[in-house]
Chain A
Amino acid sequence: MNIVTLQPDGSVFESHRHLSEDPLEFLGYKVEIAKGVTLRAFFEMIKKYPLLARLNPFLPTYLKHYGLCAEKDCLYPNMNYLELDKTVEMIGFPGEPRLEIYITLHGVKENKKIDLKDIGLDSLLDMPLILGKLKHVVMGDKVDIFEFDTVFTFFEFIDGIVWELSFLGTLTGCPLRR
């Protein structure tokens, strides 16, 4: 119940119902992603549901960049897949410690995390996209992190991905200047 599923072509289903143009009422639903979904599906989804592009001021720009990228083989050689994670971590020292919950998108290669910011969109679009677990980081220990299955809402899914995307540089990177 209360689940939406993202398909590889970017369409979103709720039960067996294909979502119409207005997906807003489903933002609080649990999101699942079908097998075969890549980052490309995320952009196709934004194209199919243009209202979603208003969730973040960077989305329209990235949609434009997406339009300029190749239609296939946008892969990063040293990565297995893209993972969206939730982390619960105690922070705040000095000062009163508090627990924060935040979402990150990163690449994964053989259990190692890869930061995306220096990778262009055109190397990420066809990477498989999966929903990861909730990681409870205890005292900064990144070795035996507690991991739990968890729920991502449709909103968290979109918002978490675009937060990471807002850090990516341009498609063209840094050309040598004379």
Chain B
Amino acid sequence: MEKEKRKILVVDDELDMRVYISTVLETSGYRAIVTKNGREGVEKAIETEPDLIVLDVMMPGEGGVLMYRTLKTDPKLKKIPVVMLSAVKKEIFFHYLKMLNVKIENNISEPEAYLEKPPDHEDLLKVIKKLLK
């Protein structure tokens, strides 16, 4: 019997990035669930209970930050490891996360992993493997 594939939710507003990441995932034995904005992302996270989430934090409109905050403040969803993708350097991202935590009451934790966009496919798979162990 085939082992059930691990589900990974991918949230990115750019079509090309969604294709790239889901291709990398699907060809490595994972099942990719793909959405294009934070609102859909949260809905899918609740509906499909993925094993891991790959999230582009700086999408315009329904931003990735809002989704991230929703995830990390929900008792069930916060257990899902998040690989944060961002086009900015890690230090800048974490600086901004600190600023955000100054403003809001419930501090949101750092993501389990952080990768700069576009992620190297090997790096991405390594990080995911580690988090899913």
Contact = CB atoms under 8 A, between A and B. Distances in A.
Interface string A119-135: 00000000000000000
A141 B88 contact: no
B1 interface: no
B79 interface: no
Contacts of B46: none
A97 B63 contact: no
Contact of B96 (A94, A139, A142): A139
Contact of A138 (B60, B87, B100, B117): B100
* Nearest 8 Cβ contacts at the A-B interface: A93-B87, A141-B65, A140-B63, A139-B65, A140-B58, A97-B88, A138-B96, A139-B96
Given A90-B92, A97-B87, 10 more contacts: A90-B88, A93-B117, A97-B88, A138-B65, A138-B99, A139-B57, A139-B63, A140-B60, A140-B64, A146-B99
B103 interface: yes
Contact of B63 (A93, A94, A142, A146): A142
B90 to A, nearest CB: 12
Interface in B80-128: 87-88, 92-93, 96, 99-100, 103-104, 117
A144 B57 CA distance: 15
A1 interface: no
A97 B95 CA distance: 14
A70 interface: no
Nearest to B99: A138
Nearest to B103: A144
B77 interface: no
Interface in B30-88: 57-60, 63-66, 87-88
Contacts of B92: 90, 97
A72 to B, nearest CB: 38
Q: Is the interface of A mostly helix, strand, loop or mixed?
A: strand
Contacts of A142: 63, 66
A165 B66 CA distance: 32
16 contacts: A90-B88, A90-B96, A94-B117, A97-B87, A97-B88, A138-B65, A138-B96, A138-B99, A139-B65, A140-B64, A140-B65, A141-B63, A141-B65, A141-B100, A142-B66, A144-B104
Contacts of A176: none
Contact of A93 (B58, B66, B99, B104): B58
A144 B100 contact: yes
A143 B59 CA distance: 14
A94 B100 CA distance: 23
Contacts of B58: 93, 139-140
Contacts of A97: 87-88, 92
